Structure 1
Amino acid sequence: MSRVSQQENPAGGSVADAGSRPRLEDVAARVGLSTASVSLVLRGVPGPSERTRQRVLKAAADLGYQPDRTASLLASRRSRLLGVMVDVHSPFHAELVEHLHTAAEEFGYDLVLSTQTRTRDEHTAVETLLAFRSEALILLGPVAPADTLAALHRKAPVVAVGRRIPGAQLDVVRTADDDGVGQVVDHLVALGHRSIAHVDGGKGVIATDRRRGYRDAMRRHGLAQHVRILSGDNTERSGERAARHLLDEGELPTAVVAFNDQCAIGVLAALARAGVAVPGRVSVAGYDDDALSRLSLVDLTTVSQSAEDQARHAVRAAVERLDEGREEPREVVLAPRLVIRGSTGPAV
């Protein structure tokens, strides 16, 4: 193994040549201690005196020393990495990841991200996380069958975020999606709407729960004859398709509840191109309360899933499995919150 040549430092000890990366040995030489003692200080392990700790930290700062995380992980039997599967196209997932990072750092963990795309499926994303020695897996909106997730949980603790998994031995953190959509329908009915359509999210448990919430709320208000479900998915394109279908039929509802915010933005775009006023002619609502929905240009009525709370509960669930040995499964169901903005108004 090649070694970095060193030169004497006027202040004592030695430093790496200019342009090279300072090593643990350089910090140890600066303060005249063993590398083992310096390592204890830099890892925050109790033992060294406060005076020694301050000397080591000052020397490390002066030298610009940064620990080699890769080498540290290889030397340890534990990686302290939480693997996160994320849909690269989802603004809501991006927000979740930001909060997951914050929560993981509080417990002394870091994240490894693996993306799910239109050409990269869940299986590939998860296998990548395992290859990087992730100790636990936090899966955002997984669509794999429950038995597949159960088998994965036997390899590493799994926390499913956003999806109901009845009877599973793994941990689940989600919001009550049916209740969230029900709150949207309640809001629209209170504004005088009766003809309320729903753009569906396609296959999967999340879409099923939101579709059920729409149906149940419509029936609760005596509007079963007005139930109208349009096929869609979680993209802007599906929202545009659904809106064009409504326009082509010539029978516009007075309100549309979309599967998520991205789908709702697609509905808004198609209605805008057709010259249909929102909310003057048609009210539109989404689900997720992602960053795009909050833009003044969009101003979308939606349902907040509390990304910060979901992230905090997901990380805590993983840490309890890893550090405390908890074995019994846990499901955390958070209450959704309606966020009223300018895309909904009284029925005309």
Structure 2
Amino acid sequence: MARRPTVYDVAERAGVSITTVSFAFRQPGRVKDATRQAVLDAARELGYAPSASARGLARGSTGAFGLYAFDMMLADGEAGAGVPAAPAPHAAPVAATGPVGEPDPRVFPLYVDEVERGFALGCRAAGRPLLLASGAPSGTAVADVAGSVDGLAIFPGTHSLDAVRGIAQSIPLVAFSTPGADPSFSHVSVDNRGAMAGVVEHLVGVHGVTDLAFVGEGSMYDFADRLTGFRDAVARLLPERTAVRPEHEVLATTAWVTALDEAVAADRLPRALVCQSDQTALHVLDLLAAHGVDVPGRVLVTGFDGILAGRMSTPTLTTVRQPFEDMGRTAVRLLADRLADPTSAAESRTLPTRLVPRGSCGCAEGTPATR
């Protein structure tokens, strides 16, 4: 990592004053669109992150680590600077609070919140202050946080990874649940493909399922890996069968809610629904219950993540448990290692998961997993 670029470097590259650079980030309404774009382009090329607290520090170091996450509890317009809250790709369409204002466990706590806890514990153990931020998926929002810390961890739902590569030029960066092929920053993830293959192996080997479908749009990095793992396992375990009928393929698209409604109405449900996440699975359970479809009698349902709400659903949710706390602690260690040796290469860590069979697939709580 090179010397942290300054506002003077950006001003020189963009051909403007340092005041204009400051306005471009903090008061964009006072700068012409073309000028602001020139400033942002220069900042991206240099890997500049506007510093809030580091300006007054002689060595430009805060000692703090930051964690930037999408916040599904924010209503539109509450994310700051008039920008709507970031979309929640892991979320099912449920309300954030219950009828008496209590948090809905299907929305909070989620895997993001549990990873955040591990990150906080890791920072405490390392004696580092922690800055938490969430909400708007804007480049300036992430850059503002980056400018206040010595290392930053992000979730892929917060911002395009293309836009944060510049930040990784000046401070260590870790991304959760992303492919490890990008050497610009470090990565912490789990074996999504292998874990999803384990789900299919359990359904086929233990429950004798031969007709199953993936549910969810598969757009996020981890979701896409899970869909690939599902398809590979089906092809391997059921090579002589039409394991996923054509009418069920639409369940693996953005139209999955409508498609599932139609499958229920036409009595065309497969024997098992393998969902991309626990939140998707919980929404599926709600939809099936509303139609009077017995789970697991008529259809088996599985999730992925291992969030608290899955233990409270009816029936309890069969899932893959991610090592949330360890993911957060691992990110702290990776940031600290790169700070200690700025010339070291970024690293990728893939952590193990655990299949947790429960009532939604017909298993009793505590049934030993097959993988």
Match 2:129 to one of 101, 105, 110: 110
Once the two structures are superposed, the pairs formed by residues 125-144 of structure 1 within 5 Å of their partners are 125-131=141-147, 133-142=148-157, 144=159
Report if the CA contact (8 A) 1:194-1:226 is conserved: yes
Counterpart of 1:79 in structure 2 is 62
- For residue 193 of structure 1, the aligned residue among 194, 199, 209 is 209
**Matching residue's letter, 2:126:** F
Asked if 1:325 is matched to 2:362, the reply is no
1:179 is aligned to 2:194: yes
Residue 207 of structure 1 pairs with residue 223 of structure 2: yes
Q: Do the aligned partners of 1:85 and 1:125 also contact (CA within 8 Å) in 2?
A: no
Q: Which has the larger radius of gyration?
A: 1
- Corresponding residue for residue 320 of structure 2: 303
* CA positional deviation for 1:75: 5.2
Judging changes above 3 Å, is the alpha-carbon distance between structure 1 residues 313 and 176 closer, same or farther for their aligned structure 2 residues? same
Point out where structure 1 has 5 or more consecutive residues left out of the alignment: 1-69
- Higher RCO (CA-CA < 8 Å; seq separation 6+): 2
Q: Deviations over 1:80-128 (max 9, x none)?
A: 2211111222611011111111111100112212213xxx215354123
The 1:122/1:247 distance shift into structure 2, 3 A limit, reads farther
Task: Tell me the matched-pair count.
Answer: 269
Task: Please list the CA deviations of residues 147-199 of structure 1 after superposition, one character each: whole Å capped at 9, or x if unmatched.
Answer: 43432311321101111141423111100111111111111112111111101
Residues 88 and 226 of structure 1, relative CA distance in 2, 3 Å threshold: same
Give 1:98's aligned residue: 117
In the TM superposition, what whole-angstrom CA distance separates every residue of 1:229-268 from its partner, at most 9, and x where no partner exists? 31456xxxx7754531321342011110111000000000
Greater strand proportion: 1
- Whole-Å separation in 1 of the counterparts to 2:342 and 2:261: 53
1:254-299 CA distances to partner (integer Å, 9 max, x unpaired)? 1101110000000000000000111111110010001111225451
Q: Give the alignment's TM-score, normalised by structure 1.
A: 0.70
Relative to structure 1, the CA distance from residue 288 to residue 324 in structure 2 (aligned partners, 3 Å threshold; closer, same or farther) is same
Q: Evaluate the alpha carbon distance shift between residue 125 and residue 342 of structure 1 in structure 2; reply closer, same or farther with a 3 A threshold.
A: farther
Contact 1:179 1:336 in 2 (8 A): no
Classify 1:110/1:295 alpha carbon distance in 2 versus 1 (closer, same or farther; 3 Å). Answer: farther
Counterpart residue number, 2:356: 339
Superposed CA RMSD in Å reads 2.5
**Equivalent position amino acid for 1:280 in 2:** G
Q: Is residue 65–residue 131 contact of structure 2 (8 Å, CA) maintained in 1?
A: yes
Identical counterparts, % of pairs: 29
